[in-house]
C-alpha cells in the first residue's frame, strides 16, 4: 500500500513535468496561431476529402481504369470516413469556440453564429433536396428498368430469337426426313449410279433451299453430295452422341460453332449403314441480333440481381457528397464569417467604448478596401470629429461653469431674490435668497413655470411680456403658510436680442419688515401727537367734573341722581382715555432695553403670580427645566411682554363661546420655558377662542385687534420688545384648540454680540424718561 510520504514526492515530481507540458502546449498554440495552422490543416483535409470521395465514387461505379476489389473499396470508404471525421473535428472545435464567445457576449459572436447557420442551411437544404429527389428518381428509374413490362419485353425478345432458330431447326428436320424418304424409295440403286444420286440430291437441295447435302456410310465414305463443294470440303466433326442417336433412328439437329448454319443428321433406312447430313445457312444479321439479345438478357438478369447493391451504392455516394458539401459549406461559412465579423466585432467593440464615453476609440482598418473598410474609416472620422467636438464642448462647459459659479457667487451675495427665466417663463437660475423667500429648494424650482411657483407674479410677467421695453414693478403679498405673509417688491425685466425676448430676470425684495417699521414709526408719531393733544385737556376735564360734583350736588334738588351719574361717567371715561393715552405714550416712547443677566423662570413666576390672584377661575400651569435659565435681557420689558401675553390669553379664555348645549372645558393657560440647547423660548398656550385664520400676519401691527375693547397695541409692544432683544415673536394655533405664542430669544452667543452695553442702555433709558 502506498503511503502519503511516498505520494508526496511523486506529486512534487509531477508538478514540474505538468508545468513543462503546459509550457510546451502554450508555445505550440502560439506557433499554430502565427502560422494559421488550423486553416491550412482544414484546407488540406477538405481537398483530401474531395479527392478521396471522387476516387471512391469512381471505384464504386467501376469507372476507374484499374480493377478494384471490394477490399479496396472498403479501404477507400474508411479513408473517406477518417478524413470527414478530421474535418468534422476541426469544424466542431470552431463551433464550440464560437458558441463560447456567444455565451460570453463577445462582439460579433451572434452575427458569426447566424452567418454560419445561414451558410450551413443554404448548403445542406439543397443537398438534402437534390439527394432525396435523385434517390427517388433513381429508385423510380430502377423500378422502371426492372418492371414487369421491361422484363417481359427482354425475355420475349430472347424467346423470339430462340424461336427463330428453333424454326430453322424444325424446318431442316422436316426437309431431312423428306429427302430421306425420297432417297429410300430409290434404294441401293443410287449407290451404283453416283451421277444420278448427285442429281437427285441437288434437286432436293434446290427445292428445299438447303445449302448442302451429303450422304456417307459408317466408314465416312461419301456416297453422294450436293452444294457442299461450294462451301467447304466434307470433314464433318460429328459428335459421337449425335452418331449414336442417328443410329438409333432419331433425327439429330446440330448447330455449327459459328452459329451461322443449321444441320440435320439421320440414318437412311433404304441403305446399308448410310447417313444423310444436310445443312442450311442462317442470316448472319439475325444471328448477331440473337447474340446481342442473349447478352442483354444476361446483363439484365445480372443487374436485377444486384438491384439492392446499386441502391446502397448510390445512397452511399450521395451521403458522402452531402457530407462533403455540408462540411465544406460550414467551413467556408466559418471562414467567411470570420473575415466579415472580425472587422464588425472591432466596430462593435469600438462603438461600445464610444458609448461608455471613450471617444478616443479607433477601429483598425488594415489593408481592407471593401465596404467594411470604408465603414471603419467613416467610423474613425466620426469618432475623431466627436472627440474634437467633445473637447470643445468640455472647454466651453468649463468656461460656462466658471461663469456660472461666478454668477452664482455674485447672486448668492445679493440679499434680494433673483430668478432667471427662459422665454416661456420656466425658471432656469434661482439664487439662494429667492429660494429662501419662496421657501423652496433650487431643484424644486428649476424647470417649473414661474406661475406655478409664485402665482402672484404671473400677471406681472405677462405685463413684462407685453411691454418688454419697460421695467414692470409691483408689490405683492406672498402667503408663506400658517397665516404668515410676506410683502415682496417684485421687478421683472425682459432680456432682448434684436427685439426678440430671450428671457426674463425677476428680482424681488422682502419689504415686510420695512413696511412694518414704517407703519410702526407712523403709528408712534400718531401716538405721540394723540398723547400730546389729548392728555393735556384730560386733567382739567376730570378736575372740573369732580369739582362740579362736590360743589353743586348738594344744591341740586331736582334729579340729583342723574347729575351724579353723569359726572361719574365723565370722570370714569376721562380715566379710560387717560389710560389709553398712557398706552399710546408708552408705545410711542418705547425705551431701549437695559440688558442684564435675568432668570427667565423668575420673571415668569412673577407674571403668573399676579394673574393667578386676579383670575382664580382659570388654571395656570408652568412647565420649566430643573435649573435656572439665564438670559441677557431687560427684565422689566420682558415682564411687561409676559403680562400682555397672559392678559391676552385670559381675555381669549373669557371670550370663549358655548357650543350647542354643552359648555367648553374650564379655562387653562400653560406656560413653558424651553431651553434645549438649540432653542430658548417662552411658550404660552391657552384653550381660548384661538387666532383668526385670515390676516394673522397683521396682528402684530399697531391698532389691529380682534376684540371690541382692545387697543391693538399689546402684540405690537411685545413684538417691538422682542425685536429690541434680537428675538422673535411666533403666533401659532394650539393643538388644544386655542393659541400658542412663543417669545423666541437669541442664543447666548448672538445675544452677547448684539446687546448694547448696560451703561449706554441706562443712559438712553434715562434720557427717554427725562423727555
- Return the number of other C-beta atoms located less than 10 Å from residue 56's C-beta: 21
Q: What is the pLDDT of residues 332-370, one digit of tens each?
A: 767 777 777 677 777 777 787 788 878 777 777 766 666
Largest Cα separation within the chain, whole Å, is: 235
Question: How much is the pLDDT for 527?
Answer: 66
- In this predicted structure, the answer to whether residue 232 has a pLDDT above a threshold of 50 is no
pLDDT at residue 762 in the model: 38
Burial class, 259, CB count within 10 angstroms (exposed 0-12 / middle 13-18 / buried 19+)? middle
Local confidence band at 587 (pLDDT 50, 70, 90 cut-offs): low
Residue 663 has pLDDT above 60, yes or no: no
Q: Is the separation of the CB atoms in 56 and 76 below 8 Å? A: yes
CA angle 453, 456, 458 (to 5 degrees): 75
Residue 759 has pLDDT above 60, yes or no: no
Higher-pLDDT residue of 516 and 720 is 720
CA dist 697 and 704 (Å) reads: 10
| Other CB atoms within 10 A of residue 439 CB | 11
Q: With contact defined as beta carbons under 8 Å apart, do 542 and 550 qualify? A: no
Q: Which of 624, 591, 616 is nearest to 771 (CA)?
A: 591
Q: Could you tell me the end-to-end alpha-carbon distance of the chain, in angstroms, rounded to an integer?
A: 123
Report the chain's mean pLDDT, rounded to a whole number: 75
Supply the pLDDT for residue 411. 65
Confidence of residue 283 (pLDDT cuts 50, 70, 90): low
pLDDT band at 428 (very low <50, low <70, confident <90, very high): confident
Compute CA distances 341 → 90, 118, 364, 494, whole Å.
19, 14, 13, 58
Q: Which residues contact 593 (CB under 8 A, 6 or more apart)?
A: 633, 634, 637, 721, 724, 725, 761
What tens digit of pLDDT does each residue of 93-134 get? 777 777 777 777 666 667 767 777 777 777 677 777 776 777
Question: pLDDT-derived band of residue 8, with 50, 70 and 90 as boundaries?
Answer: very low
The 3-state DSSP class for residue 745 equals strand
Q: Which residues contact 114 (CB under 8 A, 6 or more apart)?
A: none
CA pair distance 44, 22, nearest whole angstrom: 28
Q: In what order do the strands lie in the sheet with 668-675?
A: 619-623, 668-675, 680-686, 739-745, 728-733
Residue position matching grid coordinates 424718561: 769
Q: Helices marked H in 589-699 — which ranges?
A: 600-614, 635-654
Q: Residue 658 pLDDT more than 60?
A: no
C-alpha torsion sign, points 68, 70, 73, 75: negative
Which phi and psi (to 5°) does residue 289 adopt? -65, -35
Those residues whose C-beta lies under 8 Å from the C-beta of residue 461, and which sit 6 or more positions away, are 421, 425, 450, 451, 472, 492, 504, 506
The pLDDT of residue 523: 65
Helices (H), 358-420: 371-412
> What confidence score (pLDDT) does residue 569 get?
82
CB atoms within 10 A of CB 122: 12
Mean pLDDT of 137-165: 66
Rg (CA), the chain: 69
Strand 668-675 to 619-623 pairing: parallel
In this structure, the strands spanning 680-686 and 739-745 are: antiparallel
Which three three-digit cell numbers place residue 586?
408708552
Partner residues linked to 501 by β-bridges: 496
Phi, psi of 519 (to 5 degrees): -65, -40
CA distance 252 to 209: 19
Exposed/middle/buried for residue 410 (C-beta within 10 Å: 0-12, 13-18, 19+): exposed
* Nearest to 329, CA basis, from 82, 52, 111, 126: 126
Beta bridge partners of 487: 477
Q: Is the pTM of this model over 0.85?
A: no
Rounded to an integer, the average pLDDT of 3-31 is 63
Cell of 251: 433425327
The 3-state DSSP class for residue 497 equals strand
What burial letters (b/e) apply to 218-245, b meaning 16+ CB within 10 Å?
eeeeebbbbbbeeeeeeebebeeebeeb
Residues 6+ apart with CB under 8 A from 764: 591, 592
**DSSP alpha helices (H): ranges in 504-599?**
512-552, 560-588
- The strand pairing partners of 500, in sequence order, are 497
Nearest-5° angle of CA 566, CA 570, CA 573? 130
Q: How far apart are CA 293 and CA 110, in angstroms?
A: 65
Q: What is the pLDDT of residue 229?
A: 44
Are the C-beta atoms of 59 and 68 separated by less than 8 Å?
A: yes
Q: Supply the pLDDT for residue 683.
A: 93
Sign, CA torsion 153/157/158/160: positive
The rounded distance, in Å, linking the Cα atoms of 83 and 657 is 111
pLDDT value of residue 681: 92
Report residue 418 as a C-alpha cell.
Answer: 433673483
d(CA 61, CA 53): 12
Contact 490, 498 (CB under 8 A): no
Residue pair 454/704 in contact by the 8 Å Cβ criterion:
no
d(CA 509, CA 454): 14
d(CA 563, CA 298): 173
Percent of the chain with pLDDT over 90: 4
Rounded percentage of the chain residues whose pLDDT exceeds 70: 71
What value does the mean pLDDT take over residues 680-706? Answer: 78
pLDDT classification of 30: cutoffs 50, 70, 90: confident
Average the pLDDT over each of 482-496, 655-669, 753-767 and give the range with the smallest value. 753-767
What are the cell numbers at 453? 411657483
| Strand, helix or coil for residue 470 | coil
Q: Judge contact between 398 and 487, C-beta under 8 A.
A: no
How much is the pLDDT for 462? 87
Q: Please name the helix (run of DSSP H) or strand (run of DSSP E) that holds residue 234, with its range, or none.
A: none
Amino acid at each position: 500500500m502506498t503511503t502519503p510520504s511516498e505520494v508526496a514526492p511523486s506529486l512534487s515530481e509531477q508538478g514540474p513535468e505538468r508545468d513543462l507540458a503546459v509550457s510546451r502546449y502554450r508555445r505550440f498554440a502560439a506557433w499554430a496561431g502565427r502560422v494559421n495552422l488550423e486553416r491550412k490543416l482544414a484546407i488540406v483535409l477538405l481537398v483530401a476529402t474531395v479527392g478521396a470521395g471522387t476516387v471512391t465514387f469512381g471505384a464504386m461505379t467501376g469507372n476507374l481504369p484499374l480493377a478494384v476489389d471490394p477490399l479496396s473499396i472498403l479501404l477507400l470508404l474508411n479513408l473517406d470516413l477518417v478524413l470527414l471525421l478530421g474535418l468534422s473535428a476541426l469544424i466542431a472545435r470552431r463551433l464550440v469556440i464560437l458558441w463560447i464567445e456567444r455565451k460570453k457576449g463577445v462582439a460579433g459572436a451572434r452575427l458569426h453564429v447566424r452567418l454560419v447557420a445561414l451558410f450551413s442551411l443554404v448548403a445542406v437544404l439543397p443537398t438534402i433536396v437534390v439527394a432525396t429527389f435523385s434517390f427517388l428518381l433513381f429508385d423510380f428509374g430502377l423500378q422502371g428498368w426492372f418492371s414487369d413490362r421491361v422484363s417481359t419485353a427482354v425475355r420475349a425478345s430472347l424467346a423470339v430469337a430462340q424461336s427463330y432458330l428453333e424454326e430453322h431447326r424444325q424446318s431442316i428436320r422436316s426437309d431431312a426426313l423428306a429427302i430421306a424418304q425420297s432417297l429410300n424409295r430409290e434404294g441401293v440403286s443410287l449407290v451404283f449410279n453416283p451421277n444420278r444420286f448427285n442429281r437427285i440430291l441437288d434437286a432436293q437441295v434446290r427445292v428445299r433451299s438447303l445449302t448442302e447435302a451429303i450422304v456417307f456410310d459408317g466408314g465416312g465414305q461419301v456416297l453422294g453430295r450436293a452444294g457442299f463443294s461450294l462451301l467447304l470440303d466434307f470433314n464433318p466433326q460429328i459428335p459421337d452422341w449425335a452418331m449414336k442417336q442417328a443410329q438409333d433412328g432419331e433425327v439429330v439437329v446440330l448447330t455449327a460453332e459459328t452459329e451461322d448454319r443449321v444441320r440435320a443428321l439421320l440414318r437412311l433406312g433404304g441403305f446399308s449403314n448410310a447417313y444423310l447430313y444436310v445443312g442450311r445457312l442462317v442470316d448472319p444479321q439475325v444471328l448477331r441480333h440473337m447474340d446481342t439479345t442473349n447478352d442483354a438478357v444476361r446483363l439484365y438478369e445480372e443487374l436485377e440481381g444486384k438491384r439492392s447493391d446499386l441502391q446502397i451504392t448510390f445512397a452511399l455516394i450521395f451521403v458522402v457528397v452531402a457530407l462533403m458539401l455540408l462540411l465544406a459549406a460550414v467551413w467556408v461559412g466559418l471562414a467567411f464569417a470570420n473575415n466579415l465579423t472580425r472587422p464588425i466585432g472591432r466596430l462593435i467593440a469600438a462603438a461600445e467604448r464610444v458609448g461608455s464615453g471613450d471617444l478616443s476609440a479607433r477601429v483598425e482598418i488594415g489593408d481592407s478596401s471593401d465596404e467594411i473598410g470604408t465603414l471603419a474609416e467613416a467610423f474613425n472620422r466620426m469618432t475623431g470629429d466627436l472627440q474634437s467636438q467633445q473637447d470643445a464642448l468640455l472647454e466651453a462647459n468649463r468656461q460656462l461653469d466658471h461663469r456660472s459659479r461666478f454668477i452664482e457667487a455674485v447672486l448668492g451675495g445679493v440679499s434680494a431674490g433673483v430668478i432667471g427665466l427662459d422665454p416661456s417663463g420656466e425658471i432656469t437660475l434661482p439664487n439662494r435668497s429667492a429660494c429662501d423667500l419662496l421657501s423652496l429648494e433650487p431643484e424644486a424650482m428649476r424647470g417649473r413655470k414661474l406661475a406655478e411657483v409664485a402665482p402672484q407674479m404671473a400677471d406681472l410677467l405677462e405685463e413684462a411680456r407685453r411691454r418688454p421695453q419697460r421695467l414692470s414693478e409691483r408689490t405683492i403679498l406672498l402667503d408663506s403658510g400658517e397665516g404668515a405673509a410676506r410683502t415682496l417688491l417684485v421687478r421683472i425685466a425682459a432680456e432682448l436680442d434684436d427685439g426678440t425676448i430671450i428671457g426674463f430676470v425677476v428680482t424681488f425684495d422682502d419689504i415686510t419688515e420695512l413696511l412694518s417699521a414704517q407703519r410702526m414709526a407712523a403709528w408712534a408719531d400718531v401716538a405721540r401727537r394723540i398723547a400730546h393733544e389729548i392728555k393735556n385737556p384730560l386733567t382739567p376735564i376730570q378736575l372740573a367734573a369732580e369739582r362740579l360734583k362736590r360743589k353743586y350736588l348738594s344744591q341740586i334738588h331736582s334729579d340729583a341722581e342723574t347729575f351724579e351719574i353723569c359726572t361719574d361717567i365723565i370722570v370714569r371715561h376721562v380715566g379710560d382715555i387717560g389710560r389709553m393715552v398712557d398706552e399710546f405714550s408708552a408705545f410711542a416712547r418705547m425705551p431701549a432695553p437695559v440688558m442684564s443677566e435675568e432668570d427667565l423662570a423668575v420673571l415668569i413666576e412673577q407674571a403668573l403670580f399676579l394673574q393667578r390672584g386676579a383670575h382664580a377661575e382659570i388654571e395656570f400651569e408652568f412647565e420649566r427645566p430643573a435649573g435656572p435659565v439665564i438670559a441677557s435681557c431687560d427684565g422689566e420689558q420682558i415682564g411687561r411682554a409676559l403680562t400682555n401675553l397672559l392678559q391676552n390669553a385670559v381675555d381669549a379664555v373669557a371670550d370663549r363661546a358655548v357650543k350647542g348645549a354643552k359648555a367648553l372645558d374650564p379655562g387653562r393657560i400653560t406656560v413653558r420655558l424651553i431651553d434645549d440647547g438649540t432653542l430658548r423660548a417662552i411658550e404660552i398656550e391657552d384653550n381660548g377662542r384661538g387666532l383668526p385664520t385670515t390676516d394673522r400676519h397683521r396682528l402684530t401691527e399697531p391698532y389691529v385687534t380682534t376684540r371690541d375693547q382692545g387697543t391693538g397695541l399689546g402684540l405690537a409692544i411685545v413684538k417691538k420688545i422682542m425685536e429690541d432683544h434680537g428675538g422673535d415673536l411666533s403666533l401659532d394655533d394650539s393643538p388644544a384648540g386655542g393659541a400658542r405664542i412663543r417669545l423666541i430669544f437669541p442664543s447666548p452667543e448672538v445675544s452677547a454680540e448684539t446687546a448694547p452695553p448696560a451703561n449706554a442702555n441706562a443712559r438712553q433709558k434715562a434720557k427717554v424718561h427725562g423727555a
